[in-house]
């Protein structure tokens, strides 16, 4: 009985539902195997029922979600199953469609809004109004499936399956057993979510769902690039907009794009002070590190005052740093017309954001395919006064406080990897390059048209020539 699990709400500080992995609405064994670590679902020959579990994200499972799936059997004629609010709700979509749910809730909502004028709890008020008129649609679930930890609830009578932090106080709510539940919640946040993606218990002998393992097995172990090719197979868990984001782009707007890991977290506040425009960041972290980052961000006045920073968490998996995948994740979420491709340990000059908006306009980059090269400079000094003018920059170059990060020309040359501002509609970074070898060079090469690293370079150049033809000939002699 395939079931699709839906999470409703976006408050990331309560995203502890990694365990609540659900099945997509389909009948193939691949979907069933994805949840085999949480409970096996025997595939039936008939078409699957269209059943959905809807969960709020401020809940903690204290038991196996497979037990919640079993409650669908109690819904014989009812379309919905819930306790007393809709934080945990079973939905039989076949029944809802049969009774014309889409028209029913609209009619009830229009009628109620004549009196209520607005809804205090959004969709919950609408569903409650429908259930008030059609009580036969709902099956009441045992109270242990929604133990509400607010100040005045008698929750001790229902302790068991799901803990609901529905009080605005969340973890600080008054409850005589709060310490136990808080520890349960905090411990869960430290779990490695990748463990929940792997098959811990067998669900039959059908292996069609084990696609990743099949791809790994197909790789020649004698290949000098075996470890790198194995990394390509990984499908990273990615959580877009981990913290609230709100921004409306303006004309000629430019987004700073970068990626980072936990050891570069201290750079965020400084970059925010140098770049006032929108930022798209991909963060490579474990589940525990993601929670540390969340606490860090919430404790930073500088970061919390900025709603134009998109934080996209890519959870750790594999032995190499997927630098180009991270760059692509950050690029894909850019909402402005232009973007500045940077690195997290490079500080833009004060005012660069406004300068680039003028520059892309003057270069007519909305119509012409151009890339603006932003010169980069480097220093080995720990204590350093950031230059605010070109004169100060030249003076520091003369004294040796600064030196150029790389020789720059307007023409492509071997291993050229500048920092550029471009239109967002450009090729993505090639994800076969992981770690820190030749990742940006390959991208710049595409825009201009160790033994294993040489092999990957050769493969990339061959693919480039097949895609771009004669334009790519000048790269084929690169060692």
Segment 414-434, tens digit of pLDDT: 555 778 899 999 888 877 666
d(CA 426, CA 411): 18
Looking at the structure, do residues 76 and 190 belong to the same domain, yes or no?
Answer: yes
Tell me, yes or no, whether 41 lies in a domain. Answer: yes
The 3-class SS string of 13-75 reads: HHCCCCCCCCCCCCCCHHHHHCCCCCCCCCCCCCCCCCEEEEEECCEEECCCHHHHHHHHHHC
Looking at the structure, do residues 244 and 187 belong to the same domain, yes or no?
Answer: no
The answer to whether the CB of 188 falls within 8 A of the CB of 19 is yes
Q: What is the mean pLDDT of residues 226-250?
A: 87
Looking at the structure, do residues 294 and 173 belong to the same domain, yes or no?
Answer: no
Kindly list the distances between the CA atom of residue 419 and the CA atoms of 262, 352, 363, 374, 467, in Å, as whole numbers in the listed order.
22, 13, 17, 5, 24
d(CA 359, CA 444): 20
Give phi and psi for 156, each to the nearest 5.
-65, -15
d(CA 246, CA 268): 18
Q: Which two tokens stand for residue 179?
A: 């310490």
pLDDT above 90: percentage of residues in the chain: 27
Decide which of 139, 169, 196 is a domain's last residue.
Answer: 196
Count other C-beta atoms under 10 Å from residue 269's C-beta. 15
Instruction: Note the pLDDT tens digit of each residue in 164-218.
Output: 888 778 777 887 778 888 888 888 777 888 877 766 555 544 444 467 677 777 7
Burial 45-83 (b: 16+ CB within 10 A, else e): eeebbbbbbbbbbbbbbbeebeebbebbeebeebbbbbb
CA 156 to chain CA centroid, nearest Å: 36
Tokens 């990743």 -> residue: 212
Looking at the structure, do residues 187 and 248 belong to the same domain, yes or no?
Answer: no
Looking at the structure, do residues 272 and 151 belong to the same domain, yes or no?
Answer: no
Determine the pLDDT at residue 404: 65
Looking at the structure, do residues 268 and 141 belong to the same domain, yes or no?
Answer: no
Looking at the structure, do residues 299 and 375 belong to the same domain, yes or no?
Answer: yes
**CB neighbour class for 165 (10 Å; exposed up to 12, middle 13-18, buried from 19):** buried
**DSSP-derived 3-state class of residue 394:** helix
Decide which of 196, 213, 246 is a domain's last residue.
Answer: 196
Tell me, yes or no, whether 207 lies in a domain. Answer: no
Tell me, yes or no, whether 383 lies in a domain. Answer: yes
Q: What is the mean pLDDT of residues 258-271?
A: 93
- Model confidence at 309: pLDDT above 50: yes
d(CA 331, CA 126): 38
Beta bridge partners of 52: 4, 91
Split into its structural domains, the chain has a count of: 2
Looking at the structure, do residues 251 and 172 belong to the same domain, yes or no?
Answer: no
Tell me, yes or no, whether 320 lies in a domain. Answer: yes
d(CA 206, CA 368): 53
Contacts of 123 (CB under 8 A, 6+ apart): 8, 86
Looking at the structure, do residues 134 and 245 belong to the same domain, yes or no?
Answer: no
Tell me, yes or no, whether 227 lies in a domain. Answer: no
Contacts of 147 (CB under 8 A, 6+ apart): 155, 158, 159, 160, 161, 162, 163, 164
Tokens 């609540």 -> residue: 20
Decide which of 172, 196, 220 is a domain's last residue.
Answer: 196
Give phi and psi for 466, each to the nearest 5.
-65, -35
Instruction: Note the pLDDT tens digit of each residue in 212-229.
Output: 677 777 777 777 777 777
Determine the pLDDT at residue 39: 34
Containing domain of residue 421, as a range? 238-475
* Lowest mean pLDDT, pick from 269-283, 343-357, 440-454: 440-454
Tell me, yes or no, whether 42 lies in a domain. Answer: yes
Count other C-beta atoms under 10 Å from residue 248's C-beta. 8
Looking at the structure, do residues 244 and 188 belong to the same domain, yes or no?
Answer: no
Looking at the structure, do residues 44 and 142 belong to the same domain, yes or no?
Answer: yes
Tell me, yes or no, whether 206 lies in a domain. Answer: no
CA contacts within 13 A on the Cβ side of 362: 7
Tell me, yes or no, whether 274 lies in a domain. Answer: yes
Looking at the structure, do residues 41 and 106 belong to the same domain, yes or no?
Answer: yes
Angle at 240 between CA 237 and CA 245, to 5 degrees: 160
Determine the pLDDT at residue 385: 80
- The number of helix segments (H) and strand segments (E) in the chain equals 16, 17
Determine the pLDDT at residue 338: 97
Domain containing residue 63: CATH number: 3.90.550
Determine the pLDDT at residue 411: 57
């Amino acid at each position: 009985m395939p079931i699709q699990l839906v999470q409703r709400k976006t408050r990331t500080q309560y995203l502890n539902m990694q365990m609540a992995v659900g099945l997509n609405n389909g009948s193939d064994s691949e979907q069933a195997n994805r949840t085999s670590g949480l409970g096996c679902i025997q595939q039936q020959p008939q078409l699957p029922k269209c059943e959905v579990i809807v969960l709020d994200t401020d809940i903690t499972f204290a038991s196996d979600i497979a037990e919640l799936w079993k409650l669908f059997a109690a819904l014989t004629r009812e379309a919905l199953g819930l306790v007393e609010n809709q934080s945990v709700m079973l939905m039989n979509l076949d029944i809802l469609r049969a009774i014309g749910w889409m028209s029913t809730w609209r009619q009830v909502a229009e009628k109620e809004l004549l009196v209520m004028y607005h809804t205090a709890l959004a969709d919950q008020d609408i569903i409650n109004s429908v259930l008030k008129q059609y009580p036969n649609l709902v099956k009441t679930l045992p109270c242990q499936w929604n133990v509400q930890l607010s100040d005045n609830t008698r929750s001790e009578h229902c302790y068991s399956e799901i803990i609901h932090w529905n009080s605005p106080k969340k973890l600080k709510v008054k409850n005589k057993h709060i310490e136990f539940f808080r520890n349960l919640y905090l411990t869960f946040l430290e779990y490695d979510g990748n463990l929940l993606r792997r098959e811990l218990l067998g669900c039959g002998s059908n292996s069609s769902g084990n696609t990743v393992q099949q791809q790994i097995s197909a790789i020649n172990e004698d290949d000098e690039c075996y470890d790198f090719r194995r990394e390509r197979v990984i499908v990273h868990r990615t959580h877009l907009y981990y913290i609230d984001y709100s921004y409306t782009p303006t004309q000629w707007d430019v987004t700073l794009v970068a990626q980072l890991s936990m050891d570069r977290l201290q750079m965020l506040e400084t970059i925010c002070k140098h770049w006032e425009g929108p930022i798209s960041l991909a963060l490579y972290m474990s589940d525990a590190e993601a929670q540390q980052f969340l606490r860090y961000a919430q404790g930073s006045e500088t970061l919390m005052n900025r709603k134009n920073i998109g934080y996209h968490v890519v959870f750790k998996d594999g032995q190499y740093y997927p630098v180009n995948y991270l760059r692509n994740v950050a690029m894909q979420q850019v909402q402005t017309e232009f973007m500045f491709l940077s690195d997290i340990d490079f500080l833009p000059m004060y005012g660069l954001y406004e300068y680039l908006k003028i520059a892309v306009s003057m270069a007519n980059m909305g119509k012409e395919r151009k890339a603006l090269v932003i010169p980069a400079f480097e220093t080995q000094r720990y204590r350093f006064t950031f230059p605010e003018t070109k004169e100060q920059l030249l003076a520091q170059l003369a004294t040796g406080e600064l030196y150029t990060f790389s020789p720059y020309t307007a023409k492509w040359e071997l291993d050229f990897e500048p920092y550029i501002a471009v239109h967002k509609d450009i090729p993505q970074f090639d994800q076969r390059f992981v770690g820190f070898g030749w990742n940006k060079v390959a991208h710049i090469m595409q825009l201009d048209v160790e033994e294993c690293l040489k092999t990957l370079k050769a493969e990339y150049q061959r693919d480039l020539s097949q895609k771009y033809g004669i334009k790519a000939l000048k790269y084929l002699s690169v060692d």
